[in-house]
Chains A and B, each alone.
Chain A
Amino acid sequence: MVANEFWAEGEPVVDKAAPDGPVETRWERRKFSAKLVNPANRRKLTVIVVGTGLAGGSAAATLAEAGYKVKSYCYQDSPRRAHSIAAQGGINAAKNYRNDGDSVYRLFYDTVKGGDFRARESNVYRLAQVSVNIIDQCVAQGVPFAREYGGLLDNRSFGGTQVSRTFYARGQTGQQLLLGAYQAMERQIGLGNIEMNARHEMLELIIVDGKARGIVVRDMVTGEITTEFADAVVLASGGYGNVFFLSTNAKGCNVTASWRAHRKGALFANPCYTQIHPTCIPESGSHQSKLTLMSESLRNDGRVWVPKRAEDCQKPAGEIAEEDRDYYLERIYPSFGNLVPRDIASRAAKNVCDEGRGVGPGGLGVYLDFADAIKRLGRKAVEAKYGNLFEMYERITGEDPYETPMRIYPAVHYTMGGLWVDYDLQSTIPGLFVVGEANFSDHGANRLGASALMQGLADGYFVLPNTISNYLAAGPFPAVSETDAPVVEARKEVEDRIARFLSIDGDRTVDSFHRELGQIMWEYCGMERTEEGLTKAVGLIRALKEEFWTRVKVPGKGEELNQNLEKAGRVADFLELGELMCIDALHRRESCGGHFRAESQTSDGEALRHDDEFSYAAAWEYFGADGKPTLHKEDLNFEYVHPSTRSYK
């Protein structure tokens, strides 16, 4: 049995902070039962926040407003540049401003179902409850949401729902929400309540007497290594999509903060749940450094097709006759057509390309054709709706989508897995809290559109500030000193690792390893996974890891701005994470949400869940001495939304 070869199984993990009783009163009761810290005592307590995106920025600002001392860290040159800034579509909230039957319960229901019944009901319900406060908060900060002529907020609808609950600011919702949080943060920085450390990277977690008490950071400008102490540590360091090298994430996005915490004992849950977005601009060559998302809204009017015959793929699109085109989404999913959910559309694109019917360089692309829409609505109308997206496409590809169909291909976009947290958003290490994409909590196996921004801000503005007090009420904790053994040790680990990177002086660049890891992950742990492929991938990654530590070449010194040294640390961690992702994917012998196992499908090729066996979150303990990660299961119970099969035919 593969299990014994690749992983061990330990005791189940239990969410001890989980409230019971009626789902709609759980959050209120948790807030009431949580211990408080009186305002005069808050200034004696320090909280470290790593990351300044929607979750970290909103958490830092809110904690500082409450009176705590906050120390904030980000790798970018300003907190305003965190990757939340790139989110396009919108943010969900159960305001029911449209009077179209929306409610907290419906948002809860849609999110549990959209997550393919692999998320906790209590957490998701709370998310839906606080969603309405987020919109109020952002409007008060001056976020310029789209409005109607009457001056009230506009909404649009998104995939996986039947109501209009998405608030948006043109195609730049993430930017506007992040600037709101950033500005609130800057106000607190100006008031001296937040100590901001931009261009600083967390490289290790410091645990003293079993509690998270600080971090080791590297000043990315001078290379200086320092140890920073606090009463609690909050990780808001984002997702790990860059394990694939090519993704829609920013180049700097990495798993290091989470992974260092994982190595120190924090469980990592559901690492294999990866969201692959169907509408991205395909790779154009070996120089490709990242992929760009084209808004999902394009599928409202664009028709997806490939040639029926592989031999037509080299011809220009215009020379392929109508009857020789395969509008495969419309053919396979007649009722949803081009608007099937992200995971379905992505896998269908992969299938036609695997059949040799892909278009463009390398045969890795499908057409998204607006010819019919232009004929039906006129070019002007299409321009008004999608003009900025068409422009972006042309800038990147040099092709005019009004004349020739766009080429699109799926790309890694978001990771649902992350550090395991309880209802209070506390990890398995006391005093270590995890918010936003970095935790695993709310999206199950698949995230719905416009829900990432909602979760990041829910965690940072409303959830964490109310739960962390329960922990901090026992503080301030005894002072930590530079000379304490765990601090000395953590610092030494960081210094030794940097010295090792610089001393290998091999013959391959960091990027070449990252690219190769990405290819392995994409091939075997991407849109379709098999036992055979995943087993092979684990072997390939182990070999690559060994090669990395003997052949990598990191130029320069540690005591300077050294971007390759930064990358080396991140890639070393991605190599370990990649192996765990494959093992998680291997152990989950079912298909659910963003995880499709070829062995587990219906007779017509759709995802097949096995609720009897896999209705749990898989929380992994770091590879022990025998080199195997240990699986701790957290059982999921569905009292309100009963698991059913998703169908889009």
Chain B
Amino acid sequence: MDIKVRVWRQSGPTAGGKMVTYDVKGISPDASFLEMIDVLNETLILNGDDPIAFDHDCREGICGACSMVINGVAHGPEKATTTCQLHMRKFKDGDVIDVEPWRAAAFPVIKDLVVDRSAFDKIIQAGGYITAPTGTAPDAHATPVPKKDADAAFEAATCIGCGACVAACPNGSSMLFTAAKIAHLGLMPQGQPERDSRVIDMLQAQDDAGFGGCTNAGECTTVCPKGIPLSLIGRLNSDYRKAISKR
């Protein structure tokens, strides 16, 4: 199939950017979206142009590196699918496809479609863990965990930290990301001792990192490739109120 892509090109963090249009001809519908960009890049290199920089790694939808806003939607048109798992058969011959980076105050552009998401790591540093230094653990069966809690914790823990939720949010909020970690750890008995400090510290860290506030717009969960539900934000707010009231 023959398509056009309009891609955000920005040579560096402080440079201005613009959309540039490229023709991609004869691309197989079986190619993935990133493979289509690979093919385009090969042509750009041989023509002496600068290839498009983009983040990607596992190309299996699990590492969370890939991050493109496609036709205005974080990760593109297919539900619960990362950019790397999107295939060209979801588009039509002759389509013009817009490709942009995540856009959020806390995720500055480094180059083209590559953004800096280290702010997510800062939120985890603030409390997204259970303190259990190596060697201190009791036998794994010392504390049974009800299956429904373990399953719910797992669902929340499937977050891949891609940042689509932030890119989709009109406020650039990281609330869904933070809520998923709060739920994962807060549902496990091992996570109880730090439950109050965790929620307070992580929320402070996300404010400090420049993420916006949550207004329950719900765009985050719509684009989340792992389907993390909006209800976890409610759970976070409830945890936060309880934690604050104990202070």
Interface residues of A (CB under 8 A from B): 58, 61-62, 65, 76-81, 83, 85-86, 95, 97, 133, 135-142, 144-153, 169-170, 172, 175-176, 179, 182-184, 186-187, 189-190, 196, 198, 221, 250-252, 284-285, 287-290, 292-293, 392, 395-398, 461-462, 465, 507, 509, 511-512, 553, 555-556, 560-561, 563-564
B38 A289 Cβ-Cβ under 8 A: yes
Residues on A with beta carbons closer than 8 Å to the beta carbon of B29: 398
CB distance from A79 to the nearest CB of B (A): 8
The reply to whether A144 and B118 contact each other, CB–CB distance below 8 Å, is no
B62 touches A252 (CB 8 A): no
A142–B53 Cα distance when bound, in Å, is 36
Q: How far is the CA of A424 from the CA of B61 in the complex (A)?
A: 36
**Contacting residues, chain A, for B62 (C-beta < 8 A):** 85-86, 172, 175
Q: Scan B121-144; emit 1 where CB is below 8 A from any A CB, else 0.
A: 100111011111111111111011
* A580 CB → nearest B CB, Å: 26
How distant is the Cα of A247 from the Cα of B41 in the complex, in angstroms? 21
Task: Say whether B85 contacts A396, CB under 8 Å.
Answer: yes
Least Cβ–Cβ distance between B165 and chain A, in angstroms: 16
Output the residue of A179, A398, A553 with the most chain B CB within 10 A. Answer: A179
Chain A residues positioned under 8 Å from B158 (CB to CB): 172, 175
Would A169 and B154 count as touching, CB distance under 8 A?
yes
Chain A residues, Cβ within 8 Å of B35: 287-289
B154 and A83 contact, CB distance less than 8 A: no
Instruction: Give the number of residues in B that approach A within 8 Å (Cβ atoms).
Output: 81
B64-114 contacts to A (CB < 8 Å) = 64-65, 78, 81, 85, 87, 89, 110-111, 114
Determine the chain A residues whose CB is within 8 A of the CB of B135 once the complex forms: 133, 137
Given the interface pairs A78-B118, A250-B57, A509-B42, the reply to whether A142 lies near B30 with Cβ below 8 Å is no
Can you sample 18 A-B contacts with CB below 8 Å? Answer: A76-B63, A85-B63, A86-B63, A133-B137, A136-B139, A140-B130, A140-B190, A172-B62, A250-B59, A252-B57, A284-B30, A287-B30, A287-B31, A289-B38, A392-B85, A395-B78, A553-B46, A564-B45
Q: By the criterion CB–CB under 8 Å, are B57 and A150 in contact?
A: no
User: Is the CB–CB distance between A555 and B50 below 8 Å?
Assistant: yes
A176: nearest chain-B partner, CB-CB: B157
Max count, chain A CB within 10 A of own CB: residue among B12, B116, B130:
B130
Tell whether A83 pairs with B58 under 8 Å between CB atoms, given A77-B117, A151-B147, A287-B31. yes
What CA separation (Å) do A137 and B135 show in the bound complex? 7
B4 within 8 A of A: no
Residue B16 is within 8 A (CB to CB) of chain A in the complex: no
6 smallest CB-CB distances across A and B, nearest first, come from: A151-B144, A190-B125, A183-B129, A140-B137, A284-B30, A140-B132
Q: Which of A141, A148, A190, A561 contacts B53 (CB 8 A)?
A: A561
Residue B36 at the A interface, CB < 8 A?
Answer: yes
Q: Are B188 and A61 in contact (CB under 8 A)?
A: no
A502 CA to B158 CA in the complex, in Å?
41
| Nearest CB on B from A620, distance (A) | 29
Q: Which of B58, B126, B144 contacts A190 (CB 8 A)?
A: B126
Cβ of B125 and Cβ of A186 under 8 Å apart? Answer: yes
Query: Which residue of the partner chain, among B46, B56, B141, contacts A509 with CB atoms under 8 Å?
Result: B46
Cβ-based interface call for B28 (8 A): yes
Residue on B with the closest CB to A556? B50
Is there a chain A Cβ closer than 8 Å to B153's Cβ? Answer: yes
Q: Is the C-beta of B27 less than 8 angstroms from some C-beta in chain A?
A: yes
A645 to B146, CA, bound (A): 44
* B1 beta carbon closer than 8 Å to chain A: no
The answer, among A179, A465, A560, for a CB contact under 8 Å with B111, is: A560
CA distance A130 to B14 in the complex (A): 50
Establish whether residues B184 and A142, one from each chain, have CB atoms under 8 Å apart when the complex forms.
yes
| Extra pairs beyond A184-B134, A190-B126 (7, CB < 8 Å) | A76-B65, A139-B190, A144-B157, A149-B147, A153-B141, A176-B157, A555-B44
Contact of B137 among A61, A137, A512, A555 (CB under 8 A): A137
- Is B208 in the interface zone, CB < 8 Å from A? no
Interface residues of B (CB under 8 A from A): 11-12, 27-32, 34-36, 38-39, 42, 44-46, 48-51, 53, 55-65, 78, 81, 85, 87, 89, 110-111, 114, 116-118, 120-121, 124-126, 128-141, 143-147, 150-151, 153-154, 157-158, 160-161, 184-185, 188, 190-191
Residues A142 and B191 in contact in the complex (CB < 8 Å), given A81-B63, A151-B144, A172-B62: yes
| Cβ 8 A contact of B161, one of A78, A145, A170, A196 | A78
B228 smallest CB distance to A (angstroms): 14
A287 and B120: CB pair below 8 A?
A: no
**Residue contact B133 to A555, C-beta cutoff 8 Å:** no
In the complex, what distance in Å separates the CA atom of A556 from the CA atom of B135? 48
Known A142-B184, A190-B125, A555-B50: A560·B12 in contact at CB below 8 Å: yes
Complex: chain B residue closest to A561, CB-CB: B111
Q: Is the CB of A395 within 8 A of B85?
A: yes
Minimum distance in angstroms from A289 CB to a CB of chain B: 5
Whether A184 contacts B129 by the Cβ 8 Å rule is yes
Contact between chains at A284 and B154 (CB < 8 Å): no
With most chain A CB atoms within 10 A of its CB, the pick from B27, B81, B128 is B128
Q: Is the CB of B65 within 8 A of A77?
A: yes
- Residue among A76, A78, A198, A287 with most chain B CB within 10 A: A287
Contact of A395 among B45, B55, B81, B184 (CB under 8 A): B81
Complex alpha-carbon distance, A190 and B145, angstroms: 29
Q: Is the CB of A151 within 8 A of B145?
A: yes
Given contacts A76-B63, A169-B154, contact A147 B53 (CB under 8 A): no
Q: Is the CB of B146 within 8 A of A151?
A: yes
* Contact call B121/A78, Cβ cutoff below 8 A: yes
By the criterion CB–CB under 8 Å, are B64 and A81 in contact?
yes
B116 contacts A77, C-beta separation under 8 Å: yes
Whole-angstrom distance between the Cβ of B42 and the nearest chain A Cβ: 5
Contact status B34-A289, CB under 8 Å? yes
For residue B87, which residues in chain A have a CB less than 8 angstroms away from its CB?
A: 395-396, 398
Query: What are the residues of chain B within 8 A of A137 when measuring CB–CB?
Result: 132, 134-135, 137
Q: Are A147 and B150 in contact (CB under 8 A)?
A: yes
* Whole-angstrom CA separation of A316 from B34 in the bound complex: 29
Which residues of A sit under 8 angstroms from B28, Cβ to Cβ?
Answer: 284-285, 287
Bound complex: CA of A198 vs CA of B135, how far in Å?
27
- Tell me whether A465 and B134 are in contact in the complex, defined as CB-CB below 8 angstroms, given that A85-B58, A136-B140, A563-B53 are known contacts: yes
Shortest distance from the beta carbon of B149 to any chain A beta carbon, whole Å: 8
Q: Which of chain A's residues have a CB closer than 8 A to the CB of B130?
A: 140-142, 183
